[in-house]
Amino acid sequence: MIVIVGGGVSGLAIGWRLAQAGESVTVFERNKAGMESTWAAAGMLAPQIEAEYGEEMLLPLAMASHKLWPDFAKELIAETGIPIDYREEGTIQVSLDRDEQEQLDNRFIFLSRNQLEVEKLSAYEVRRLEPHISRAVTGGIYSPQDHQVDNRALAVALQIAFEKAGGILREQCSVEEIVIDKDCVTGIVVNGGKIKVDHVVVAAGAWSRNIPGIPDVLRPPVRPLKGQMLALEMPASAPLITHVIWGPGNSIVSNVYLAPKSDGRLIVGATVEEMGFDKRMTGGGLLEILRAAWEVLPGIYDLPVIDSWSGLRPASRDDAPILGSSGIAGLTYATGHHRNGILLSPITASEISSYIIEGKKSDLINSFSVGRFKRV
């Protein structure tokens, strides 16, 4: 039996692929499936606009997963009948003053040098695409291939697909220990009893480091990185924007984003806070999100606030995922996806399931093993 610890988008997607291949798979989730960082996300599939200096190593993996997304979405919808709101309008990053415009110009050079499909826009061209954008806008970068999905619908669809394929989901059921004997996984402990298993996949997001039984030297170096977000209500028939918009941030919002959903929700986020596992909302966090969003899109002033929440991004030391062997036979990692869990779910599922079934890693994930963090 294969056990997956964690029922978020990564765990469910891996489980789905393994179950499709005829494997006996059980997902253990300490909460409700898909209700942690998967639920808290905004569902952006934007490897190009979100590409960062110093993260070039991640680009091939992100772009490979992005390429899988259209067929992944079609298969999931066909299998479950759940519409996951896969939208292809593209993403626009904007600047609001001369200094920000200079930074945006340098960013465009960086993205172009990495052969990413982006277009430079004048202020007029930005407003032609999105008429309600602030009159202060000075320019933008348009990425037509950076799409989005409804992450909450995705979580529901993946759960249905996984169980329909024969997978077993055990919610509100924590794995209390991974049992290791002579550098080999032999079982797990659940509700005080040992269950014999053949393989364990750790896909527990920000909680991956804390699972008992893993030797300290091999624990995945993943920490929680808090993000506060909120949802505003737009008229579904007359939304303020149709593209995902990225704008300048402030003290705790590195870049503000506004992601319109087909049901009229406008998802706005997010803070970036080192607060451990403290998920409490704060007045300052919401203020800074709304301030940054209003400067980009003044029309949000009159929109009703319909929800607010926070989530914990699973961040590794270099903000890239930890994929593949743990160094212990029968123990595989699929964690540390940081802000890219939704984007990377198709490639994570295909690569990890293939690794477990065939015992081989592709070149795509060779660079993402936990071994890269070993001290020398």
Q: What is the CATH number of the domain that holds 208?
A: 3.50.50.60
Q: In the block, which residue shows the tokens 């979100």?
A: 50
234 shares its domain with 305: yes
Last residue of a domain, one of 270, 300, 315: 315
| CATH number for the domain that contains residue 97 | 3.30.9.10
DSSP assignment letter at 153: H
- 64 near 347, Cβ under 8 Å? yes
Mean pLDDT for the stretch of residues 169-195: 96
Span 254-265, average pLDDT: 96
Same-domain check for residues 10 and 73: yes
The mean pLDDT value of the chain amounts to: 96
Residue 28 pLDDT class (50, 70, 90 cuts): very high
DSSP 26: E
- Do 213 and 185 lie in one domain? The reply is yes
Whether residues 51 and 134 share a domain: the answer is: no
pLDDT (0 to 100) of residue 248: 95
Beta strands 25-29; 168-171: pairing state: parallel
Is residue 376 pLDDT above 90, yes or no? no
Domain limit, last residue, from 315, 335, 356? 315
194-214 residue pLDDT tens: 999 999 999 999 999 999 999
For residue 54, how many other CB atoms are within 10 A of its CB? Answer: 8
CA end-to-end span of the chain, whole Å?
A: 36
Residues 99-158: pLDDT tens digits?
A: 999 999 999 999 999 999 999 999 999 999 999 999 999 999 999 999 999 999 999 999
Number of domains in the chain: 2
Which of 111-115, 183-187, 239-243, 250-254 comes out lowest in average pLDDT? 250-254
Looking at the structure, tell me whether residues 141 and 165 fall in a common domain. no
Q: Mark whether 168 and 62 lie in a shared domain.
A: yes
Q: What is this structure's pTM?
A: 0.96
Write down the H helix ranges in the chain: 9-20, 37-40, 59-80, 98-113, 123-129, 151-164, 283-296, 345-358, 363-366
158 in the same domain as 23: yes
- Looking at the chain, how many residues does it have? 376
**One domain, residues 233 and 281:** yes
Full domain range(s) for residue 140:
91-147+224-315
Domain boundary among 315, 339, 359: 315
Positions of E strands within the chain: 2-5, 25-29, 44-45, 91-95, 119-122, 139-143, 147-148, 168-171, 177-180, 185-190, 193-196, 199-202, 223-233, 244-248, 255-260, 265-269, 305-315, 322-325, 331-335
Residue 360 has a pLDDT of 83
Question: Could you tell me if residue 86 is inside a domain?
Answer: no
Task: Tell whether 238 and 269 lie within a shared domain.
Answer: yes
Mean pLDDT of 270-294: 97
Residues 311 and 168 in one domain: no
For residue 13, being part of any structural domain is answered with yes
Q: Please give the distance of CA 81 from its chain centroid, rounded to a whole number.
A: 23
Answer yes or no: is pLDDT of 94 > 70: yes
pLDDT of residue 375: 54
Q: In this model, does residue 227 exceed pLDDT 80?
A: yes
**What is the average pLDDT across 51-76?**
96
| pLDDT of amino acid 47 | 97
Q: How confident is the model at residue 251 (pLDDT cuts 50, 70, 90)?
A: confident
Whether the per-residue pLDDT at 288 is higher than 70: the answer is: yes
Sheet holding 168-171, edge to edge: 168-171, 25-29, 2-5, 199-202, 331-335, 322-325
Query: Are both 256 and 267 inside the same structural domain?
Result: yes
Tell me the mean pLDDT in the region 305-332.
96
Q: Is the pLDDT of residue 257 over 80?
A: yes
* Other C-beta atoms lying within 10 Å of the C-beta of residue 242: 13
Q: Are residues 138 and 185 in the same domain?
A: no
